[in-house]
Structure 1
Amino acid sequence: MIEVNDLTKRYGSTTAVDALTFTVRPGCVTGFLGPNGAGKSTTLRMIIGLNEPTGGSVTVQGRAFRRRPRGLRHVGALLDAGDVHGGRSAAAHLGVLARTNAIPLRRVGEVLDEVGLDAAARRRIGGFSLGMKQRLGIAAALLGDPPVLLFDEPLNGLDPEGVRWVRDLFRRLAGEGRTVFVSSHLMTEMEHTADRLVVIGRGRLIADEPLAAFAARGAGARVRVRTPDASALADAVQAAGATVTRDGDGVLLVGGLGSDQIGDLAFEHRLRLHELSVTSASLERAFMELTADSVEYTAGEASAGEASVREAGDAR
């Protein structure tokens, strides 16, 4: 579990992360979304102790990451696939990480095989494609068999087969009870991979909720509800601020509330539900609408704030 409490990071007069509070729980894939300049990479770096917070705190499994002497046994992270020594072989790179974290060297071969790089184990990393470097970074994250995993844009450079493999890998890791936190700008992949979302803009929290609930907040999204108590449920959701359209006998199309909220209202009013599903929901559309006020710059026009953060070394 990752617990972020009032986390803040400033670079001079620029606030990259502004009083963020959220929890990433085990057993599901949590997507981490935000426009460019939102503070995602800075947040990830603070989680694993690469950046010192200006204020607030972040713990992993109840402790600050810096207090763990064998970090890769507790947290595996891929933040920059290119941040490796090009003159080393893949096996040598992982071997160094294994020795410094008291991890059995047999794990090097195991993770290289798992990510599909066993045949390239003795090749120099400098000759790897971006997709191969991504796979090597994932291998490094898996090396210590940790309960918590962080990935920043892990799909860059991967071909369609590689994307599908990563998607299945994340779901398997979450199914094993691990905490999986993935930052990505690929909305389609988030729709197929994430169970929950943490969304930030200008360093502030915008949403922390199930993916379906977030997508349902976008214009045009509707939740289809089939119930023998249609009139009573319509009254209940309208009282909560939703819009309701009838779509046949016992079927309601509800806008403005997520499926979880509708289910809770039905439970509170003791109303039976025969179907509850999100229709016409687009994560990309909801993301664009709900983060519109948090975009740092438009095409061709970078803000002064973004430039300041870049100079301070903040990637996003």
Structure 2
Amino acid sequence: MIEIERLTKRYGATTAVDQLTFTVRPGTVTGFLGPNGAGKSTTLRMILGLDTPTGGSATVAGVPFANRPRGLRHVGALLDAGDVHGGRSARAHLSALARSNRIPLRRVDEVLAEVGLGKAAGRRIGGYSLGMKQRLGIAGALLGDPPVLLFDEPLNGLDPEGVLWVRGLFRRLAAEGRTVFVSSHMMAEMEHTADRLVVIGRGRLIADESLAEFSARNAVSSVAVRGPELASLAGVLRAEGAEVRLTEPGFGTVTGMPAERIGELALRHGVVLHELAARTSSLESAFMSLTADSVEYLAGEAR
């Protein structure tokens, strides 16, 4: 279990992480979400003792990670897949990690096979693709068979088969009772992978709840409508309190009114509809809506 208590990190006048408090529990995949610059990577680095907090604490099973002499037996982590010696082979890289953490060398070939790099174990890492480096980083996290695992953007560079493999891996690790904490910007993938979400923005906690609770609280329901007389129907719907957006002639989106009521009003006023379909926004839409005020960098924004 990972416990974060009033965790704070300042760099001069800039507060990267601001009084964060949350708990990541075993047996679940917890997604760690936030816009660029939200403080996710800084938080992970403080959990691993790579950055010193300005205030608060981060512990794993009640102990700061830096106090554990053989860390890979307790926590496995992938923070930067490219942060490896390119002149070494994958086997040499993992063997060095195994020796320094007193992990049996047999684990090296076991994890290389598990991540699909068995045949490339003797090749220099400098010739690996980004996806292969991601797999190697995951192998390093698994090396000590730890109860707690942290991953920062583990899906970068993976092909569709790799994404499906990682999804299954995370869910299997959680089913074994491990704590799995995954930082990602891929909202659609978290929708298929995570059981619980921790969302931050500008270093502050925005949400800490199950995926189902997050989606139910932040998702926006709408109704797609299509027909030749939408302009006249729009006035009727607005008079009833609905919001209507006509995207183009014959097409529109209605919020604030169920599809059944829209159909009843269309029938009452003799308006022909060719389509009436209820829709619920995706996790990505819910996330964008919730973090809109916390985005640090906006594309196309004038300065």
TM-score computed with the length of structure 1 as normaliser: 0.77
Given that residues 216 and 286 in structure 1 are in contact (C-alpha distance below 8 angstroms), is that contact kept between their aligned partners in structure 2? Answer: no
Corresponding letter in the other structure for 1:51? D
Aligned-residue offset at 1:100: 0.3
Matches within 5 A, 1:230-269: none
How far apart in 2 are the matches of 1:73 and 1:154?
20
SS at match of 1:15: strand
Residue number in structure 2 paired with 1:184: 184
Residue number in structure 2 paired with 1:109: 109
SS at match of 2:15: strand
Matches within 5 A, 1:195-274: 195-221=195-221
Query: What 5-or-longer segments of structure 2 have no aligned partner?
Result: 223-255, 262-278
Per-residue deviation, residues 279-316 of structure 1 (Å, max 9, x unmatched): 8252111101110110112114598xxxxxxxxxxxxx
How many pairs are equivalent? 253
Given that residues 201 and 295 in structure 1 are in contact (C-alpha distance below 8 angstroms), is that contact kept between their aligned partners in structure 2? Answer: yes
Matches within 5 A, 1:1-316: 1-221=1-221, 280-301=280-301
Aligned-residue offset at 1:220: 2.0
How far apart in 2 are the matches of 1:156 and 1:131?
7
Given that residues 216 and 281 in structure 1 are in contact (C-alpha distance below 8 angstroms), is that contact kept between their aligned partners in structure 2? Answer: no
Residue number in structure 2 paired with 1:255: none
Query: What 5-or-longer segments of structure 1 have no aligned partner?
Result: 223-242, 249-278, 304-316
How far apart in 2 are the matches of 1:281 and 1:126?
42
Given that residues 8 and 20 in structure 1 are in contact (C-alpha distance below 8 angstroms), is that contact kept between their aligned partners in structure 2? Answer: yes
How far apart in 2 are the matches of 1:48 and 1:220?
37
The 1:73/1:191 distance shift into structure 2, 3 A limit, reads same
Per-residue deviation, residues 16-47 of structure 1 (Å, max 9, x unmatched): 00000000000010000000100000000000
Corresponding letter in the other structure for 1:6? R
The 1:11/1:145 distance shift into structure 2, 3 A limit, reads same
Per-residue deviation, residues 231-263 of structure 1 (Å, max 9, x unmatched): xxxxxxxxxxxx996979xxxxxxxxxxxxxxx
Per-residue deviation, residues 88-110 of structure 1 (Å, max 9, x unmatched): 00000000000000000000000
How far apart in 1 are the matches of 2:142 and 2:157?
19
Greater Rg, structure 1 or structure 2?
2
Per-residue deviation, residues 87-139 of structure 1 (Å, max 9, x unmatched): 00000000000000000000000000000000011100000000000000000
Aligned-residue offset at 1:215: 1.4
SS at match of 2:9: strand
The 1:221/1:132 distance shift into structure 2, 3 A limit, reads same
SS at match of 1:155: coil
Corresponding letter in the other structure for 1:39? G
> Aligned residues: percent identity?
79
TM-score computed with the length of structure 2 as normaliser: 0.80
How far apart in 1 are the matches of 2:48 and 2:78?
11
Given that residues 81 and 133 in structure 1 are in contact (C-alpha distance below 8 angstroms), is that contact kept between their aligned partners in structure 2? Answer: yes
Aligned-residue offset at 1:149: 0.2
The 1:136/1:218 distance shift into structure 2, 3 A limit, reads same
How far apart in 1 are the matches of 2:127 and 2:219?
46
